[in-house]
A and B are shown apart, each in its own frame.
Chain A
């Protein structure tokens, strides 16, 4: 793997993270992060879909007419999402029930169109696949961090299992219900952005 490919894969996990630096995919970061399990499932599904649609668009990139490129991108994503959802329903029904509305939400995820337009339209298939995987995982990483704090502080659980011991509740500890509301996801994402910019000089605006 040469340096450029490595960069395409690694950068989205850190200094070019789709959520905290490119500020894409915020909407679904609010919607699915009240618990860890859906957050992980969503992160993985987005990773798969971004990687595959990046690959397909990159293969087609020299043939796509410029004036209808966005529509072609949309058709490719929508077809992939629909197929993945059909396959899940047939072979992993429990997972598809768990995902329910989220699969449909993937089509509207801005990371998808963002990466197709910004990267896959002007790079080769292999780089695009890596870029898709990197961005998907970078998105999943933020989702998991946010969901960890929201589930821990909001319901006292992780993966649905209670981790805050019962005696804490008996001594007056109360779960923070606000953590389960979407605004807290935004505040946690804000804290992550703050922390990341504090540690990365190149991300700070002059």
Chain B
């Protein structure tokens, strides 16, 4: 057979393309449900990781600890309390819908906020859990798409990078003060977390992500402090109390 003829080339190319397209479409549609389940399970694992919970069966642990989900309005009031309303939010919805998970761990209420931002090479995301005072960090969890292994990718390292967030304060005078600073430059340990050496851009990305996302919730976060103790002076006293605790 002459494989150099034009008609043969055309027919051959078409057949190959059709077979490959069919194969890929088949694989993709056959596996889609499984993949989506995996993605949802992985999301639950990350949410639980921000509560420092690492149970094998993430699906049932999620139902056990997460008591309700909310979407908030800009002024901090609840817009929706439907089941799964926060879980179904994509990263692009975080700024507009303000999803929030409410969990109960050992009888204490925790608030979990989904985060999303930019690292050095690509998107980064995460979850931050606050205590019932809406100010003290209970735990965090970060993930990334394509940060440099050994440098920026270390934001997923629990002991090195994520543990130091625990116990930090978030709000100061109604603004988000929690930040990650350049490695070795922590001046105010109440609000500042040491960055990763050699990964300043990724560390700054984490810092911007936390401040950018949490500032959307400012009304909600600020409310507890002002309600409980009437005014700014008391909030500052809160911050000072924090400082002495550290």
Chain A interface residues toward B at CB < 8 A: 32, 34-35, 38, 62-68, 71-72, 75-76, 79, 82-83, 86-87, 89-91, 93, 97, 100-101, 150-151, 154-155, 177, 180
Q: Which residues of chain B come closer than 8 Å to A67, judged between CB atoms?
A: 4, 9
Contact flags (1/0) for B6-46 with A, using CB distance below 8 Å? 00110011001100100110011001001100110110000
Between-chain CB contacts (< 8 Å), 26 pairs: A34-B151, A63-B3, A65-B3, A65-B9, A67-B4, A67-B9, A68-B13, A72-B16, A79-B23, A82-B24, A86-B27, A89-B35, A90-B34, A90-B35, A93-B38, A93-B39, A93-B42, A97-B42, A100-B145, A101-B146, A151-B150, A154-B150, A177-B198, A180-B148, A180-B150, A180-B151
| B77 is an interface residue with CB less than 8 A from chain A | no
Known contacts A90-B38, A180-B148, A180-B150: A65-B12 contact under CB 8 Å:
yes
Which residues of B sit under 8 angstroms from A177, Cβ to Cβ? 197-198
Contact partners of A101 in chain B: CB under 8 A: 145-146
Report how far A151 CA is from B39 CA in the complex, Å.
30
**Residue of B4, B31, B149 most packed against chain A (CB within 10 A):** B149
A63 vs B11: C-alpha distance in the bound complex, in angstroms? 12
Q: Which residues of A contact B146 (CB under 8 A)?
A: 100-101
CB-CB under 8 A for A155 and B12, given A79-B20, A79-B23, A86-B31: no
Residues of B170-210 at the interface with A, using a CB-CB cut-off of 8 Å, are 197-198
The answer to whether B9 and A68 touch across the interface, beta carbons within 8 angstroms, is: yes
Q: Check B9 against A83 for contact (C-beta < 8 Å).
A: no
In contact, A66 and B12 (Cβ under 8 angstroms): no
Query: A64 to chain B: which residues have CB within 8 Å?
Result: 3, 12
Top-10 shortest CB links A-B: A93-B38, A90-B31, A34-B150, A90-B34, A65-B9, A34-B149, A180-B150, A79-B20, A89-B35, A35-B149
Give the residues in chain B near A79, CB-CB below 8 Å: 20, 23-24
Asked if B27 and A87 make an inter-chain contact with CB atoms under 8 angstroms apart, the answer reads yes
Name the residue in A66, A86, A91 with the highest tally of chain B Cβ atoms < 10 Å from its Cβ.
A86
Query: Known: A65-B4, A79-B24. Contact between A89 and B31, CB under 8 A?
Result: yes
Task: Report B-chain residues with C-beta under 8 Å of the C-beta of A76.
Answer: 20
